[in-house]
Amino acid sequence: MNSAHIEPQVSVVVPAWGDYAGKALAEALESLHAQDLPARVIVVDNASAPPLGPMEGAEVLRSDSRLSLGAARNLGLEAVRSPYVVLWDADDLMLPGTLRFLRDRIASQPDAVLVATSILEGDPPVPHRWPRRWIYPLARRRSLFAFADCVWSVFPTTGAAIMRTAVAQECGYGDASGGEDWVLGVSLAFRGGIVLDPRPGRVYRRHPDSVWATQRALPMQVRHGRAVRERLERDPGVPDWVKRVLPAIAALQLVAIFVLHPLAVAGRAIRTSGRSGM
């Protein structure tokens, strides 16, 4: 059989629209095409105006109406036929060798539903603070790790994170443009192993009008927590004991949002100020 007709083992889905469909997208796609593992790249044109044209090395799947980010990701997920999938952001860069590393790592661990590398940001790139380093060993204690993710998002489902396609399609992202990745994460964490590797695989680039920047306000974080609880309540893959303690999860989410997170932000500001004053 001609190898050119063999479906790649990995698909990469990249939603894009507006400013995300310009130079940053071209650079993101270039970093994907430079990987040493062939992949099917699917760009989801989320009702861009004008529509995205043909792209070399990528398929363009268009939505005629603007979808939430989660729904756009799900639209791309529906088109995936490969056993593994990566959901990529249109303004980030994939570091060389990342795709093969992720594929090899998840293929070698049959009980894993997701494998993620660490993240770099800035110029020159430095380690991103998330996922927190104390989370890495916790990932080996599956139930405790999954419960921690119910309270606060502790691992990525986008970027340099590879998932088993069938599981990701079964669960799906939340239909929202904030917290949608956390909603998928809690479903994944109760279905199999989550492997976090310290090897950097993604360069995160801040977009001035990024979805992330618009979702940081405390009321938005409360909304994200509510969406997670709604997913936990109706997801058949979530154990009954988790559904019974949803009120406790809600209380812990509020503590994380209104107490722990502001303290962590203040602590980082103090440390940063101290370093700049040295």
Tell whether the model's pLDDT for residue 275 goes beyond 70.
no
Q: Is residue 50 part of a domain?
A: yes
Note if the pTM is more than 0.85.
yes
Tell whether the model's pLDDT for residue 228 goes beyond 70.
yes
Q: Is residue 232 part of a domain?
A: no
Q: Is residue 252 part of a domain?
A: no
Q: Tokens standing for 93?
A: 């860069």
**201: enclosing H helix or E strand:** strand 193-204
CATH number where 61 lies: 3.90.550.10
Q: Is residue 66 part of a domain?
A: yes
Q: Is residue 246 part of a domain?
A: no
Q: Is residue 216 part of a domain?
A: no
Q: Tokens standing for 53?
A: 């044209």
Q: Is residue 187 part of a domain?
A: yes
Q: Helix, strand or coil for residue 224?
A: helix
Measured CA distances, 99 to 49, 55, 236, 249 (Å): 31, 20, 31, 35
Give one word for 169, left, alpha or beta, with left for phi > 0 and alpha for psi -120 to 50: alpha
Q: What would the pLDDT profile of 157-203 be if each residue is shown by its tens digit?
A: 999 999 999 999 999 999 999 999 999 999 999 999 999 999 999 99
The residues, any chain, with a CB within 8 Å of residue 69's CB and separated by 6 or more, are: 15, 46, 173, 176, 177, 178, 180, 211
Q: Which domain holds residue 56?
A: 3-205
The residues, any chain, with a CB within 8 Å of residue 80's CB and separated by 6 or more, are: 11, 13, 40, 42, 165, 169
pLDDT at 3: 46
Q: How far apart are the C-alpha atoms of 229 and 247, rounded to whole Å?
A: 9
Q: How many structural domains does the chain have?
A: 1
Task: Provide the Cα torsion 90, 75, 7, 54; round to 10°.
Answer: -60
pLDDT at 22: 87
Q: What would the pLDDT profile of 106-152 be if each residue is shown by its tens digit?
A: 999 999 999 999 999 988 999 998 999 999 999 999 999 999 999 99
Q: Is residue 174 part of a domain?
A: yes
pLDDT at 214: 60
Q: Tokens standing for 75?
A: 């639209």
Tell whether the model's pLDDT for residue 208 goes beyond 80.
no
pLDDT band at 1 (very low <50, low <70, confident <90, very high): very low
